[in-house]
Structure 1
Amino acid sequence: MIHQFYGKFPLQRVCDNGASSAQGRVKAGGRQARRLPVAAKIALAAACTLGLAACVTPQERHAMDQNQCYTFGFEPGTDAFAQCMMGLHQDRAAAQAASNRYWQAQLAEQNRRREAQQDLYKVMSLQRSGDPRFPVCGASYEGGMDHRTMTWFGPNCRAR
């Protein structure tokens, strides 16, 4: 168990000290292991750092909030300190709600684009009806099935 201190408030963390089995390997499959380019190593290190920075336990977050309010000059146990803690929590909740709204809007836009593309494919398939230059659509073609008419549609197909 490792004891860490965030300013005035202690935090206990349990860590696994086991060494990785991949450390120290020079050869892979009897050959010299391939070396990563420097840019790839930097990108990998940055991705790992960002990934680990996002993983904060609730206890760590609470300790960091306490230290933030303490550095603002509020004394623990006072109403002002409690209001500061509540304000930080509300700010975090508002940021999370904004992030959720953003991703919901992105998903809705993606769904709208996919539906618009499918509508275009349906129109194109119907316009090509009877044209022998285009194959008849089937389940293996990109597009889908118009459940209203029970016919397949796609970008390079014609309706039956």
Structure 2
Amino acid sequence: MRDTASRAGQSEGSLNRTLPTVAKLGLAAACALGLAACVTPQERHAMDQNQCYAFGFEPDTDGFAECMMGLHQQRAVAQANSNLYWQAQLAEQNRRREARQDLYKIASLQRSGDPRFPICGASSDGGMDRRTMTWYGPNCRAR
């Protein structure tokens, strides 16, 4: 009986010692992966040079220069496409938010005078109609 308790205490103690080690290794691996994604312009240039050399182009030749320009242009096009994608995502979010606000405003105006709904305020979901300086939201009535 005592031997079992002793072993349980040992395994618990070893678990307490290995858990921080495992956490440290996981943190180190996460940091390494994060830093691997960061590439300086000089490192990117060196990688491009290695890629063009692997394609069979010799340094200081026209083909090598064209290869380097092609890789640079591909990266620029990919970045431009990424920028366009995120701009479109942001525009869609803005459009949806404005449409939701318009629906809240219409619903709030339709519920005017209905005591089942609370009066809107600054803490309500929705917004403020700047023309009339009144609050509107999904579950509000006008004051």
Is the shorter-chain TM-score for this pair beyond 0.5, marking a shared fold? yes
1:113 to 91, 96, 112: 96
Q: Deviation digits for residues 103-152 of structure 1, max 9, x if unmatched?
A: 11111111111111111110110011011111111111111101122110
Q: How has the CA–CA distance of structure 1 residues 94 and 123 changed in structure 2, closer, same or farther, with 3 Å as cutoff?
A: same
Task: State the 1:46 CA deviation.
Answer: 7.2
TM-score (norm 1): 0.70
- Counterpart of 1:81 in structure 2 is 64
More strand by share: 1
**Alpha carbons of structure 1 residues 66 and 110: separation in structure 2 relative to 1, 3 Å:** same
> What do residues 5-38 of structure 1 show as CA deviations (whole Å, max 9, x unaligned)?
xxxxxxxxxxxxxxxxxxxxxxxxxxx68x48x9
1:150 and 2:136 correspond? no
Q: 1:90 aligns with which of 70, 73, 94?
A: 73
Query: Which one has a larger percent helix, Structure 1 or Structure 2?
Result: 2
1:9-158, aligned counterparts within 5 Å? 35=19, 48-158=31-141
Count how many residue pairs are aligned between Structure 1 and Structure 2.
125
Quick one: structure 1 residues 99 and 62, their matched pair in 2 at CA, closer, same or farther if it must change by over 3 Å? same
Output the aligned Cα RMSD: 2.4
Structure 2: unaligned runs, 5 residues or longer: 1-15
Q: Any unmatched runs of 5+ in structure 1?
A: 1-31
